[in-house]
Amino acid sequence: IAGITQAPTSQILAAGRRMTLRCTQDMRHNAMYWYRQDLGLGLRLIHYSNTAGTTGKGEVPDGYSVSRANTDDFPLTLASAVPSQTSVYFCASTGGQTGELFFGEGSRLTVL
Amino acid sequence: GQNIDQPTEMTATEGAIVQINCTYQTSGFNGLFWYQQHAGEAPTFLSYNVLDGLEEKGRFSSFLSRSKGYSYLLLKELQMKDSASYLCAVMDSNYQLIWGAGTKLIIKP
């Protein structure tokens, strides 16, 4: 099934631990994004990649890093998780003329 | 700063019509999007407006006035499955999306 796959769907981890959220798309989209969604706030962009080999910082990049070794994969890493990073994380990609975003199902992360 | 405003919550009756408003102040404008998000799920694309006027797509329509910094999403013949959050997003001059916090729509029988 074409689309975006995120893993894990849910995770609880202790503060200070390292965590990587995986994102894979099979639509051959060039641009990919990582957002976090918190109650009462709009989606906030963490990092983005316009094409394989390039990445950029979004609105809330601190504490997160990304890589884009190829077109399909765009992992998000929390080097040392903190409780404020408890959130729902969405990976998205776009390749359409209108800039329509296609989202993964989300990864619910709880940092204790 | 850049800002997207939309009501936090709205309630409507099954079979009725509801209008969800969105006002924006952004650095430039390259289009406005509406997404639907059911609880616990990912957002899904509903509509895109870049020119003034009304775009109709089945039971859903979206309107844009660039001079007023205003859009609305109109949902007709409401069904229970329309209970969801509706997210307004504007693409700014840097082609970055600025998101509103979303409007939670509650449909009552």
Q: Is the pLDDT of residue B1 over 90?
A: no
B79 touches chain A (CB under 8 A): no
Q: Are A55 and A46 in contact (CB under 8 A)?
A: no
Query: In Å, how far from its chain's centre is CA A73?
Result: 10
What is the per-residue pLDDT across A8-67, written as a single tens digit (0 to 9) for each?
A: 999 999 999 999 999 999 999 999 999 999 988 889 999 999 999 999 999 999 999 999
Asked if A43 lies within 8 A of B48 by C-beta distance, the reply is no
> Which residues of A fall within a CB distance of 8 Å from B41?
105-106
Query: In Å, how far from its chain's centre is CA B34?
Result: 4
State the average pLDDT over residues B86-100: 92
Helix (H, G, I), strand (E, B) or coil at B82: helix
State the average pLDDT over residues B4-12: 97
Q: What is the pLDDT of residue B108?
A: 96
**Largest Cα–Cα distance of chain A, in whole Å?**
42
Q: What is the pLDDT of residue A1?
A: 59
> Which residues of A fall within a CB distance of 8 Å from B102?
42
State the average pLDDT over residues B68-83: 97
More confident position, A97 or A109: A109
Split at pLDDT 50, 70, 90, the class of A96 is low
- The interface residues of chain A toward chain B in range 86-105, judged by CB-CB distance below 8 A, are 90, 98-105
Helix (H, G, I), strand (E, B) or coil at B80: helix
Identify which of A40, A90, A103 has the shortest CB distance to residue B101.
A40
Q: Is the pLDDT of residue A2 over 80?
A: no
